[in-house]
Amino acid sequence: MNFKIYILFIIILASSCTTTKKTTETSSKTKKSVLTETKTDSTNVIKKNQKIDNEYTIPLRTADSLTNARIREALRNFQAGARSGNNSTNVVFDEDALAFKIASIVGETTSEKTTTNTDTNTEKSFEQKTDEYIEKKIKRIPWWFYALIGFWFLPQIIERLQFIINPLSAIIKKKS
């Protein structure tokens, strides 16, 4: 019976001496990003002017017929003109009407206006990711260590257990 109590006491003692160590590992990742978006919008306005075709008449007729005859004789073969691209001017003397006839042509023109709008949109983002790992380590004192201590102190342990179990036997033993 005493032997069973000793073994039970050693098993309880051996299993109660455990240690727990908690280890926490934290890792953090940070990610920053900038997104820039540029939009360009162009507006093109074209104005087109029509062709100008004008004719003018400048009369030279007077009340005196002799003066009219001299004007006819002086300007009989008169012609003048100029041309540049689509533009031209002609001046001709008309003997029958006794007048200068001026014809001017201005070609069509085009004016173009371009307007450009640029919009820039910038978006910043920040992302952080945190990982946490918790690890528990349980450490025990090895069983052979308890066995060694138990064998070392076995005589004292037996004596004390007997004192608890049978207090009278210890008293008798001291008197003798």
pTM (2 decimals)? 0.40
Q: What is the pLDDT at residue 122?
A: 84
Query: What average pLDDT values come out for the chain (176 residues) when binned by 10 residues?
Result: 68 61 75 84 84 88 88 87 89 89 87 84 82 71 76 82 69 64
Q: What is the pLDDT at residue 12?
A: 65
Total Cβ atoms within 10 A of residue 170: 14
Q: Residue 58 is encoded by which pair of tokens?
A: 């400048």
The number of residues in the chain equals 176
Q: What is the pLDDT at residue 132?
A: 76
Q: What is the pLDDT at residue 125?
A: 82
Q: What is the pLDDT at residue 101?
A: 93
